[in-house]
Every structure is written in C-alpha cells, then in structure tokens.
Chains A and B, each alone.
Chain A
Amino acid sequence: GAVVSQHPSWVICKSGTSVKIECRSLDFQATTMFWYRQFPKQSLMLMATSNEGSKATYEQGVEKDKFLINHASLTLSTLTVTSAHPEDSSFYICSARLTGRYNEQFFGPGTRLTVL
C-alpha cells in the first residue's frame, strides 16, 4: 500500500518556540493532504486541508496564523506550530489522499508534540 511518513515522530519544545512537522508521501503524489489533531483517548479532528500550490483550507476554530501549512510539492506538506504553548501539546497526524478506486487517505505515523 501507499506509504506516508512524518518527521519528527516526537518532539519536546519550550513554550514560545516554533515547531515544524513534515508529512511526505513516499511512493505516490498527493495533491491533497490533511492535518489532524488527536487528544488522548479522543478521535481525530481535522485541522486543515492542504492543497499543493495553493493556500490551505482551515476548519472553523483553527487559527491559521498559529498553525502554518505549506504544501510546496506533490509529496511534501509541512505544519508549523508557531509560538507553541502547553495547550498545543497533542498528537498530530497527517494523511495524503491517493487518487484511485477509493480515493482513500493514507496516514502518517503521527507526531507527538509536548510543549513544556
């Protein structure tokens, strides 16, 4: 199946710093990638839809200046958490949509962010 990687898998940072998370589709091109956030023992919440070559579409309540998304190529999308605070600590998961029979999304392994 299609493979999506995320880097880093975990990160600990100080409050006020910025953190960049990369999402790569390794063996297919993805014009659309998605960024989700998951709190402990909760479901995935869509944060934004990332489209190659255009601005991301953010879900209601998600601060676009806080969570910067760049989809610079067909295989790479990045999420930058700017001026991170402890409440930003969470599990961030990206997915890439594979155009095909199901148009299913393949998920990255996730990034656990802890802000001290």
Chain B
Amino acid sequence: AQKITQTQPGMFVQEKEAVTLDCTYDTSDQSYGLFWYKQPSSGEMIFLIYQGSYDEQNATEGRYSLNFQKARKSANLVISASQLGDSAMYFCAMRGNRGSQGNLIFGKGTKLSVKP
C-alpha cells in the first residue's frame, strides 16, 4: 500500500529565513511521482513542485526546492526566503503507477506559520 507521512503538524519560521517541511513515503512501485501542494485558508490547492522517481536531479521551482532522497524515501520541501504569504497548510502527495488513473495520495499536512 502507498502511504505519505508528514510528521510535523505545525512549523514556525521567521520571515526571510528558509524552512524545510518533511515528507516520507512508502510504495512498492518503481515509477512514481511526488508532489507538494499549498493550501491557504481559502481552501484552494496550489501546485508547487513535482519530483519524478527517475529524476536524477532535485526539482526546483523558484523559492521551492525538493530534497529528494530516494534510498531514504524522503521528499522534503525547502522554502527559501520565507514570506508572510507562505503561511498555509502544505501537503505532500504521491502518485503511484496504479493503472492509468494516477490518483494522488496525500499526507496529513503541515501548517506553516511565517512570523514577521
């Protein structure tokens, strides 16, 4: 069975500092994809970054980077130079290779609070 674990229910970070949100996963699939989404209080899910299981380099998208350690089955999100607008829930998700449906399995999320 596939599973995503986010062990940090809440995190605080000072504005302009970097923060790492942890994510570990479990799957028996050889091919899979890992995603991070941001959910502000308004509720919408905003796609941040993607890492494929065969990607050799860590994904980066602007201030977001993904620290992918395949052997450890971890896919931590690093946010550099935190901004007040980064305060939100962050979900790690995995898409397995289950048929062609490609549904996502989400972790429980981490609530990030950026302090001014």
Which A residues are within 8 Å of any B CB, using their own CB? 1, 32, 34, 42-46, 49, 57, 91, 93, 95, 97, 102-110, 112
Tell whether B68 is near chain A: CB-to-CB under 8 Å: no
Asked whether, in the complex, the Cβ of B45 is within 8 Å of the Cβ of A103, the reply is: no
Q: How large is the interface on B (under 10, 10 to 19, 20 to 34, 35 or more residues)?
A: 20 to 34
Give the nearest-CB partner of B105 in chain A: A46
- How many Å from the CB of A73 to the closest CB on chain B? 19
How near does chain B come to A54, taking the closest CB pair, in angstroms? 12
Known contacts A43-B109, A110-B43; decide if A105 and B104 are in contact (CB<8 Å). Answer: yes
Contact partners of A104 in chain B: CB under 8 A: 35, 47, 50
> Dominant SS at the B interface?
strand
Give the dominant DSSP class at A's interface: strand
Residues of B within 8 A of A32 (CB): 101-102
Of A45, A103, A106, the contact of B102 (CB 8 Å cutoff) = A103
Query: Can you list 28 A-B contacts (CB < 8 A)?
Result: A1-B47, A34-B103, A42-B108, A43-B106, A43-B107, A43-B108, A43-B109, A44-B91, A44-B104, A46-B104, A46-B105, A49-B101, A49-B103, A93-B45, A95-B104, A102-B33, A102-B50, A102-B52, A103-B95, A104-B35, A106-B47, A107-B44, A107-B45, A108-B44, A109-B43, A109-B44, A110-B44, A110-B45
In the assembled complex, the CB of B6 is this many whole angstroms from the nearest CB of chain A, namely: 9
